[in-house]
A and B are shown apart, each in its own frame.
Chain A
Amino acid sequence: DGGITQSPKYLFRKEGQNVTLSCEQNLNHDAMYWYRQDPGQGLRLIYYSQIVNDFQKGDIAEGYSVSREKKESFPLTVTSAQKNPTAFYLCASSPPAGTGSSTNEKLFFGSGTQLSVL
């Protein structure tokens, strides 16, 4: 089945450690996104990528890094510079713009990764 796979489901980070969250999609979508979700708040955009080998900072990029070497993959690294990393992280993708089907504004989400600090 086509979809977005995030792993692991739960992740623990020690102080000073970098951790990487995986996101893979087989929907053939060009655009991919990372969101952070904190209790009682809306989703906040960390990074996004509209095409392979290109990505842009979102609203809360500090302390995070990404890469987009393949269309299917958009891993997120939470660095030691992120002092409050505990949150639920969601990866999403969207179809290419200009498809003519009015679908490119719709986001398709993975099932999330809960990151906690030890």
Chain B
Amino acid sequence: GQQLNQSPQSMFIQEGEDVSMNCTSSSIFNTWLWYKQDPGEGPVLLIALYKAGELTSNGRLTAQFGITRKDSFLNISASIPSDVGIYFCAGQLETGGFKTIFGAGTRLFVKA
């Protein structure tokens, strides 16, 4: 089946640094989604992308839908301690929650 490769698995950064993470697939997707999960909580949607090449921002977060439709990137600028958590990418070829494929997540640690 379809799989998403998310990297890096974990990141240890200093407060104020910028962060980049990405997700790749051997298959194309029509929708890319980025979620953040705080420790002990459920994931929360950060950004949704619907078109190849699309670049969307949400505050200090910026995500891009890759031109090939097989990858997506998430950048966080000027990180702060509350950015700590697990960031998941998710892709959909067809619309529908049950068709969502999740990456394994990038665990972000921010040192104040």
Contact = CB atoms under 8 A, between A and B. Distances in A.
A110 B40 CA distance: 11
Contacts of A50: 98
A112 B40 contact: yes
Contacts of B101: 42
Q: How big is chain B's contact interface, by range? A: 20 to 34
Interface stretch (B13-21, B64-72, B77-85, B102-110): B102-110
Contacts, number: 74
Contact of A106 (B9, B42, B45, B104): B45
A102 B100 CA distance: 15
Interface residues of A, number: 31
Nearest to B101: A42
B76 interface: no
Contact of A42 (B1, B41, B48, B103): B103
Interface in A40-67: 40-45, 48, 50, 56, 58-59
A94 B97 contact: yes
Nearest to B95: A105
A107 B88 CA distance: 13
B9 A40 contact: yes
A74 interface: no
A109 B44 contact: yes
A6 B41 CA distance: 11
Nearest to B10: A40
Interface of B: 1, 4, 6, 9, 31, 33, 35, 40-45, 48, 50, 88, 92, 95-98, 100-105
